[in-house]
Amino acid sequence: MCRDSCSALLCWHGSGLYLDAVAAFGRPVEVPSLLTGTGAFFTWHNVRVKTPSPESVAMSNPPPDSRQAALDYHEFPVPGKTATAITKPAQSARDLALAYSPGVAEPVRAIAANPDDAYRYTNKGNLVAVISDGSAILGLGNLGALASKPVMEGKALLFKKFANIDAIDLEVETQEPMELIDTVRRLGASFGGINLEDISAPRCFEIEAALIEAMDIPVFHDDQHGTAIIIAAGLVNALHIQNKKLEDIRLVLVGAGAAGTATLRLLLEMGLNREQLRVVDKVGVLHSGLTDLPEHHAAVVADTDDRTLEDALRGADVFIGLSAPNLLSAEMLSSMADQPVVFALANPDPEIRPELAHSVRDDLIMATGRSDYPNQVNNVLAFPFIFRGTLDCRASRITANMKIACVEALAALAREPVPQSVLAAYNLDSLTFGAEYILPKPFDPRLIERLPAAVAAAAERDGVARTAYRPYPRVTTV
């Protein structure tokens, strides 16, 4: 799904034996700069680093499907994508006495007397656990906990890069829901928030719900809610351009898994008419005549005679695909209402190729999960910022209104003039709100300014914020 695209953010530039460029920054970066800055103390030994010229970057920029470039990126100059940075001086005997024994005893006593002081004297308030059991890794399937580690490290990188949130990846070797729930619950004292990742449906619903109930820190399954937030923001803007309203449209969603189910729940919260919704899964249209459906499918059945995707799409305003390649035919697209909206989010190949879709309908607005087409639905537009706002007001949970606030802030930002810095980052001369620009770009610096504040304000309105909103410093070590 769109999370493949989020991972693609890590592979925009190539890395060879000398690591000419670093992907996550969208520009060449010398390797030592990754691990230096205020309070970060590192010495590099026997690492050969070459400062790249523009020509070398162009030559080393591999095609998106370059397997070796991805492997080299993860291996050189040191394995992995994250490391620990020190935030306090550690240069003298006095520093060490304050950092550890005997000085460390003072915050220990303070926290024992008042647990809230953990947010004052430790990094708990800026630390998120990225947790997976490896049961649904991107589009690759159930490959186990260890194989999920590169994805979880990548997620930690994105948290730090875009929101200055420290994150630790934890791969848990169990696929029994209760064992995973118990493990995560027992880790809660260490973290300010929990990001669940790559956990298969329907287990993910049970696991997230149980952890939200059991823990006093926010728990967020990004495969569900991050995807839902970006889809909803893009849809709000697409409907605005097409002069349609959410409460009036007929919507067809294909693929009622983790992301699809969360998307439906969020859109219904925002005003989508339940009677105008058709959900298609492996059995066809989910209708009231079906029995023995999973709970998350039974919740979205329709009282309809529609049985196939073709039936459901006749006259529909919106298609959202979170399923498989080439499911949406030219004939089906032709049968949709005037000025349709198509979000074809299967990765790497969408439900219909944009070239074909636009040749069939010139009144179309389309989004995919890919970075090589306009309107990429990319979770990195949401999860760093919703967590930033949540942590900065110490919200106990992430509510539906906090997600909707994120949706509205994202949608509003895309309608504003695009700063020159964003155009330069993407090598563009211009970018204007319209059919090919319905979502902000990930490197838009206004995201960190707008989204966390909107999320925190919603948390305060919902009564889950435990402190006033205080933005965390935005300076990062990269």
* Nearest one of 219, 221, 163, 230 to 406, comparing CA atoms: 230
pLDDT of the residue at 3: 39
Q: Which of 100, 121, 245, 426 is catalytic?
A: 100
Phi-psi sector, 57: left (phi>0), alpha (psi -120 to 50), beta: alpha
Q: What's the CA gap between 158 and 442, in Å, rounded?
A: 10
**Can you give the pTM of this predicted structure?**
0.85
pLDDT of the residue at 65: 58
DSSP 220-254: EEHHHHHHHHHHHHHHHHHHHHTT--GGG--EEEE
Using DSSP's 3-state secondary structure scheme, residue 193 falls into: strand
Q: What is the pLDDT of residues 231-247, one digit of tens each?
A: 999 999 999 999 999 99
To which residue do tokens 């000025």 refer? 339
Q: What's the CA gap between 354 and 374, in Å, rounded?
A: 9
Q: What is the pLDDT of residues 352-408, one digit of tens each?
A: 999 999 999 999 999 999 999 999 999 999 999 999 999 999 999 999 999 999 999
Q: What is the pLDDT of residues 303-342, one digit of tens each?
A: 888 899 999 999 999 999 999 999 999 999 999 999 999 9
Burial of 333 (C-beta count, 10 Å sphere; 0-12/13-18/19+)? buried
**Is the model's pLDDT at 413 over the cut of 80?**
yes
pLDDT of the residue at 304: 87
**Is the model's pLDDT at 18 over the cut of 50?**
no
Q: Which of 81, 155, 160, 441 is catalytic?
A: 155
Question: pLDDT-derived band of residue 5, with 50, 70 and 90 as boundaries?
Answer: very low
Mean pLDDT across the stretch 107-121?
Answer: 98
Q: Where are the alpha helices (DSSP H) in 335-419?
A: 354-360, 383-392, 400-414
Q: 164 and 38 in contact (C-beta within 8 Å)?
A: no
Distance (Å) of CA 291 to CA 286, 287, 302, 408, 461: 10, 9, 13, 37, 40
Mean pLDDT in the chain? 87
Mean pLDDT across the stretch 24-41?
Answer: 33
Q: Is 437 a catalytic residue?
A: no
**R_g of the chain, CA atoms, integer Å:** 23
Q: Is 155 a catalytic residue?
A: yes
Q: What's the CA gap between 392 and 387, in Å, rounded?
A: 8
Domains of the chain (ranges, CATH numbers): 1-82 (no CATH), 223-478 (3.40.50.720)
Q: What is the pLDDT of residues 247-282, one digit of tens each?
A: 999 999 999 999 999 999 999 999 999 999 999 998
Q: 302 and 327 in contact (C-beta within 8 Å)?
A: no
Q: Considering only residues 112 and 474, tell me which one the structure prediction assigns the higher pLDDT.
A: 112
